């Protein structure tokens, strides 16, 4: 039996052709690069330890103490700008709590080259290190003319390590912030503490973003406590890993008081909820 297309009912034919076109468009769209990037938990680094063969904090001109715990700064990573994100990749990442699909411009601003973005991130890191040093020495009432501090964290940019840099300096110089050089005890009581937050020279802590991914990096690397800027509590609570305790802070004073309360059991420890 033979027949021509004209012998088929018109409506089923039209629907069939439309379905073929739609399926073709979907197939093409699945592989067309989209203006998105995928972000995910990055590395964490103990600010009182060694990273890539070099001490993160190097202090001269003042007695130091042996630290027992860890104060880990955390990062988030993103797909590189040259890596194309397809619809398939975006849909796969979207429901994953350990990934976030964001506009590419949020990571790599339009009109800026990768080298310009990296340079900006490095400048923010340098400024953060200077503010952290200022805040720590001011808290301990130590003169910057006598105590020399060098911070090194290769290939990591941005200002979000500021709070953990500051705490690391204080712990190495003074233990639990009592004002007595070489004081017994420390800020961590041997625990792995992680956190994030930009700090200024006066010790005020501000929000930095990406905390929902940073908590996952912290838990992955053994942290049990996470210091978070208070304004980002709700973001940090989203998908919070089991066993990770959030401690909100707005200042260096808040952070030190909370850590001392955690290790001594004396005083209140703030919480997000």
User: pLDDT, tens digit, for every residue of 157-216?
Assistant: 888 899 999 999 999 998 766 654 444 468 998 999 999 999 999 999 999 989 999 999
Instruction: Tell me what the mean pLDDT of segment 116-139 comes to.
Output: 88
Residue 48 has pLDDT above 50, yes or no: yes
CA angle at residue 253 from 197 to 266, to 5 degrees? 115
Most confident of 2-6, 63-67, 182-186, 189-193: 189-193
Query: Taking a C-beta distance cutoff of 8 angstroms, is the pair 218, 44 a contact?
Result: yes
Q: d(Cα 163, Cα 160) in Å, to the nearest integer?
A: 7
pLDDT at 6: 47
pLDDT at 25: 42
Predicted pLDDT of residue 66: 86
Q: Is the pLDDT of residue 67 over 50?
A: yes
Would you say residue 217 has pLDDT above 80? Answer: yes
Residue carrying the six token digits 């049990």: 224
Q: Tell me which residue of 272, 256, 164 sits closest to 218, measured CA to CA.
A: 164
Look at residue 7 in the predicted model and tell me its pLDDT: 47
- The model's pTM: 0.82
In this structure, whether the domain defined by 36-264 belongs to CATH 3.40.1280.10 is answered with no
């Amino acid at each position: 039996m033979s027949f021509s297309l004209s012998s088929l009912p018109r409506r089923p034919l039209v629907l069939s052709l439309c379905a073929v076109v739609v399926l073709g468009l979907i197939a093409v769209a699945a592989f067309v690069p989209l203006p998105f990037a995928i972000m995910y938990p990055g590395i964490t680094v103990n600010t009182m330890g060694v990273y890539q063969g070099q001490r993160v904090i190097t202090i001269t001109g003042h007695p130091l103490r042996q630290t027992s715990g860890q104060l880990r700064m955390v990062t988030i990573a993103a797909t590189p700008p040259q890596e194309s994100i397809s619809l398939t990749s975006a849909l796969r990442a979207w429901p994953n709590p350990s990934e976030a699909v964001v506009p590419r411009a949020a990571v790599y601003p339009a009109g800026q080259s990768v080298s310009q973005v990296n340079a900006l991130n490095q400048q923010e890191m340098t400024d953060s290190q200077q503010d952290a040093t200022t805040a720590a020495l001011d808290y301990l009432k130590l003169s910057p003319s006598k105590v020399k501090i060098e911070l090194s964290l290769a290939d990591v940019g941005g200002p979000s390590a500021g709070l953990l840099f500051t705490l690391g300096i204080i712990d190495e110089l003074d233990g639990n912030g009592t004002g007595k050089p070489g004081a017994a005890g420390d800020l961590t009581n041997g625990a792995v503490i992680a956190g994030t937050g930009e700090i200024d020279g006066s010790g005020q802590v501000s929000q930095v973003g990406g905390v929902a991914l940073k908590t996952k990096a912290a838990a992955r690397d053994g942290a049990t406590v996470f210091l978070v800027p208070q304004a980002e509590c709700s973001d940090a609570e989203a998908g919070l890993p089991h066993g990770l305790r959030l401690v909100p802070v707005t200042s260096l004073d808040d952070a030190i008081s909370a850590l001392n309360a955690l290790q001594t059991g004396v005083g209140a420890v703030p919480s997000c909820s």
